[in-house]
Amino acid sequence: MSLRRRIALLASLGLLAFSAATARTQESPAAAPPAPNPQRPNQQPPPLVTTTGLVHLVVTVTDKHHNFITDLDKSDFKVIEQGQPQEIKFFGRETDLPLRIAMLLDTSNSIRPRLEFEKDAAVDFLNKVIRRNKDLAFLMTFDNEPEVIQDYTGDLDLLMTAIRAQRAGGGTALNDAICLASQKLMHAPLPEGPQKDLRRVVVAISDGQDTLSDRALTDAIDASIRSEAAVFSVSTNTDWLAVDDASKPSKYHLEAGDKVLEQFADQTGGHAFFPYRLDDLAQSFQDIGTELRSQYFIAYAPSNPPAVGTYRPIQVETTRKGLIVSTRKGYYGSALPSAPTGN
């Protein structure tokens, strides 16, 4: 081979080698950027808090004028069980937990004169309280027996249509309705994602005079406690006495049905309302919505857990003087996993 051809061949081979090396360099992945410093300030992710296995309490605090107190901290509360203070594992102010609401509408003959206005007030309440893609509610009516008219939904149109279609007639099976609603709330749909805590609420409109239930009052109260549902009751009784000023009526006395509605509220951490005029019904529902947005969420692990199925009374206090604390009066022991540590 001539010298000129040898030089040309060597030049071609060198060009091919250079091109291959360049291609390999371009196909190689870029070096990964340095990992962020986990100790760098303000770069820590928020801690994941779970309250599975803890006793859950939704707490309302008011002053003597019935104004909601919403600026308390974890250190302002004490939870007492069997005379012993309990360590609060989780605390939330103005809790934003998803709501699961049981709307119980008395459709018996006794509330016929107020039924239309009650339906208006119930629709207005759900419109103001239900948050899209977060809260769910179902409608149950009760006269001779309870009946689920609209199952769990966040669709306000479905709920409103179901409420508007109701008619009055028959007796009153309030206890059976509370039991059935509590069972549904106990198995309420859980929110998506890792956070599974809920606030379960019963809103019951009734005169409280049960005439047809198969279940006793104590059964209904126990069922609501086991489901961790707070019962908000709105009385339809009209036995009022105006004293001195007719524009400021006073309750002459609590009817037997009124006392039943108070028991549900007192034992579960809810509230009983006794509207005088038709217009007061709307105010009662507005007050319920305000209270649901003015509460605290407390979770704690009992230092001496009760046996499964055993009722354990509890007491929640605040260190600030002159305030009134409302929450459920106790809970039933259950077979729950060991409680994790919260914040």
Q: What is the CA radius of gyration of the chain?
A: 30
Reported as a pLDDT band with limits 50, 70 and 90, residue 277 is: confident
- What is the rounded CA–CA span in Å between residue 27 and residue 331? 65
Nearest to 126 by CA among 116, 141, 139, 113: 139
Phi and psi at residue 170, in whole multiples of 5°? 100, -170
Residue spans per domain, the chain: 55-94+297-332, 99-293
Contact at 8 Å (CB) between 88 and 77? yes
Give the pLDDT mean for 266-273.
95
**Please, which residues have CB within 8 angstroms of residue 231's CB and are 6 or more apart in sequence?**
178, 202, 204, 224, 264, 265, 268, 270
Nearest CA to 268 among 296, 238, 295, 230? 230
pLDDT of residue 201: 97
Residue of 301, 234, 220, 231 whose CA lies nearest to 54: 301
B/e letters for 71-93, b = 16+ CB within 10 Å, e = fewer, are: ebeeebbebebeeeebebbbbbe
**CA–CA dist 261, 100 (Å, integer):** 20
- pTM as predicted: 0.79
SS3 of the chain: the string is CCHHHHHHHHHHHHHHHHHHHHHHHHHCCCCCCCCCCCCCCCCCCCCCCCCCCCEEEEEEEECCCCCECCCCCHHHEEEEECCEEECEEEEEECCCCCEEEEEEEECCHHHHHHHHHHHHHHHHHHHHHCCCCCCEEEEEEECCCEEEEEEEECCHHHHHHHHHCCCCCCCCCHHHHHHHHHHHHHCCCCCCCCCCCCEEEEEEEECCCCCCCCCCHHHHHHHHHHCCEEEEEEECCCCCEECCCCCCEECCCCCHHHHHHHHHHHHHCCEEECCCCHHHHHHHHHHHHHHHCCEEEEEECCCCCCCCCCEEEEEEEECCCCCEEECECEEECCCCCCCCCCC
pLDDT in tens, 280-332: 888 888 899 999 999 999 999 999 999 999 999 999 999 999 999 999 999 99
- Please give the CATH number for the structural domain made up of 99-293: 3.40.50.410
Pairing of strands 84-86, 77-81: antiparallel
Band (pLDDT 50/70/90 cuts) for residue 249 is low
Residue 338 confidence class, pLDDT cut points 50, 70, 90: very low
| pLDDT band at residue 34 using 50, 70 and 90 as cut-offs | very low
Tell me which residue has tokens 């005029």: 277
- pLDDT, position 339: 39
**Average pLDDT over every residue of 181-185:** 98
